[in-house]
């Protein structure tokens, strides 16, 4: 009887051991990788706890508002998203169109977005009204502002002095229009020597083409492609770039609220690293970058020729400059920035501020990670 009991006990133990082994096999980690963006993650195993925690770590969401409709000028951002550069840095970046720089600043101020692409000068105006809730630039992706006055050569306006007595058109909040008194001061004409006609942004070029105004103020990257699409040629245009007449302003920057900056320094560093990696690729192969932007246009309304011209203008006058080729993307020449800040304070009638009040470079990647690709590495824009 004891022998029979022993045999039954052995059988029970054998079944228990077999069941435990089967359960262990079923709970073993899968050898199939998981995906994150367009990258395939390494298989997770019990011997690789670090890989497991990395795969499961949720990426930090960063919402970006553009200054306007998505354009070829947004190629560095879109390239970095589509190629997975932000994902590699642990960020989940999305973006939405903007409705002009002033509106973009306003929405950043409400906290709707973590990052905004807009100009420093509207940010300074926001800060003047909201001194305890400031917005700062952490980088500039446009080394020169696209501020300009544009007219047609057949109107006989050959120099800025010829604007005297003429009618200019622009939306009420247009940056170059707001800065026109400073432009007038630099070219030695009275700001009151011209009259202004106000219209919606989408009608600005139409008013000029129809002869309702003699010239318009605006971003040349927006105005010129629209006039070319309207039947004009580059030879028809007379362009007064503000940067050629004493207003050497920086263009759009990457802006954040001070509160977000304080709480998320690593996220900002990671964002800038990925963004300027994208910028380098755009400069290397602008045609590929343009095609990528077009391919992400769900509306299918983007005009490739207009976007090509827009990107060409940006590359020539804002994205690749002698200053950038020496110092790398994103930073500033402090004397130049201080001068433009002083001019903005005067032009917008603001309380005096310094560069430290509106810009910091402490989040920029090391210089070697944001250098402009050498000319030998740059393909033409086709």
pLDDT (tens digit per residue) in 241-293: 999 999 999 999 999 999 999 999 999 999 999 999 999 999 999 999 999 99
What H or E segment, with its residue span, contains residue 318?
none
Q: pLDDT-derived band of residue 173, with 50, 70 and 90 as boundaries? A: confident
Question: What DSSP string runs through 348-365?
Answer: HT-----GGGTB--TTSP
Share of the chain above pLDDT 90, in %: 80
Q: pLDDT-derived band of residue 311, with 50, 70 and 90 as boundaries? A: very high
**pLDDT higher for 194 or 48?**
194
Does pLDDT of 26 surpass 80? no
Q: How long, in residues, is the chain?
A: 382
Q: What is the mean pLDDT of residues 197-206?
A: 95
The position carrying tokens 């446009």 is 142
286 closest CA partner among 360, 151, 382: 382
pLDDT at 224: 98
Cα separation of 78 and 212, whole Å? 37
**pLDDT higher for 16 or 202?**
202
Q: pLDDT-derived band of residue 175, with 50, 70 and 90 as boundaries? A: confident
Does pLDDT of 167 surpass 50? yes
Does pLDDT of 35 surpass 70? no
**pLDDT single digits (tens) 315-358:** 999 999 999 999 999 999 999 999 999 999 998 899 999 999 99
pLDDT at 189: 97
DSSP-assigned beta bridge partners for residue 217: 149
Least confident of 4-8, 189-193, 330-334: 4-8
**How many CB atoms within 10 Å of residue 195?**
12
Please state, rounded to an integer, the average pLDDT across all residues of the chain: 88
pLDDT at 20: 43
- Its pTM stands at 0.83
> 261 CB contacts (<8 Å, ≥6 apart)?
136, 138, 268, 360, 363
Burial of 149 (0-12, 13-18, 19+ CB in 10 A): buried
**pLDDT single digits (tens) 107-126:** 999 999 999 999 999 999 99
pLDDT at 54: 41
Phi, psi of 286 (to 5 degrees): -65, -30
Q: pLDDT-derived band of residue 56, with 50, 70 and 90 as boundaries? A: low
**How many CB atoms within 10 Å of residue 107?**
17
Does pLDDT of 172 surpass 90? no
């Amino acid at each position: 009887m004891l022998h029979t009991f022993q045999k039954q006990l052995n059988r029970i133990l054998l079944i228990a051991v077999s069941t435990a082994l089967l359960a262990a096999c079923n709970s073993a980690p899968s050898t199939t990788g998981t995906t994150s963006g367009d990258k395939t993650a390494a298989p997770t195993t019990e011997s690789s706890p670090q890989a497991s925690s990395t795969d499961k770590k949720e990426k930090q969401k960063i919402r970006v508002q553009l200054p306007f409709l998505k354009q070829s000028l947004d190629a560095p951002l879109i390239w970095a998203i589509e190629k997975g550069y932000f994902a590699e840095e642990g960020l989940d970046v999305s973006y939405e169109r903007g409705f002009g720089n002033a509106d973009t600043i306003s929405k950043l101020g409400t906290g709707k977005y973590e990052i905004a692409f807009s100009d420093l000068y509207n940010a300074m105006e926001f800060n003047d009204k909201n001194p305890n809730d400031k917005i700062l630039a952490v980088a500039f992706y446009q080394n020169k502002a696209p501020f300009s006055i544009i007219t047609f050569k057949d109107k006989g306006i050959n120099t800025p002095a010829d604007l005297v007595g003429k009618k200019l058109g622009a939306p009420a909040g247009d940056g170059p229009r707001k800065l026109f008194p400073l432009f007038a001061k630099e070219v030695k004409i009275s700001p009151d020597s011209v009259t202004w006609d106000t219209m919606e942004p989408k009608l600005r070029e139409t008013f000029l083409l129809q002869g309702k105004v003699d010239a318009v103020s605006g971003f040349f990257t927006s105005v010129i492609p629209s006039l070319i699409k309207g039947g004009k040629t580059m030879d028809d245009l007379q362009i007064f770039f503000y940067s050629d007449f004493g207003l050497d302003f920086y263009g759009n920057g990457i802006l954040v609220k001070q509160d977000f900056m304080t709480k998320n320094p690593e996220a900002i560093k990671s964002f800038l690293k990925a963004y300027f990696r994208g910028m380098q690729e755009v400069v290397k192969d602008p045609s590929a970058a343009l095609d990528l932007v077009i391919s992400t246009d769900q509306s299918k309304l983007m005009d490739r020729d207009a976007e090509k011209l827009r990107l060409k203008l940006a590359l020539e006058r804002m994205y690749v400059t002698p200053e950038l080729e020496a110092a790398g993307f994103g930073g500033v020449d402090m004397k130049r920035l201080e001068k433009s800040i002083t001019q903005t304070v005067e032009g917008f009638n603001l309380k005096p501020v310094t560069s430290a009040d509106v810009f910091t470079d402490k989040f920029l990647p090391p210089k070697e990670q944001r250098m402009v690709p050498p000319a030998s590495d740059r393909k033409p824009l086709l």
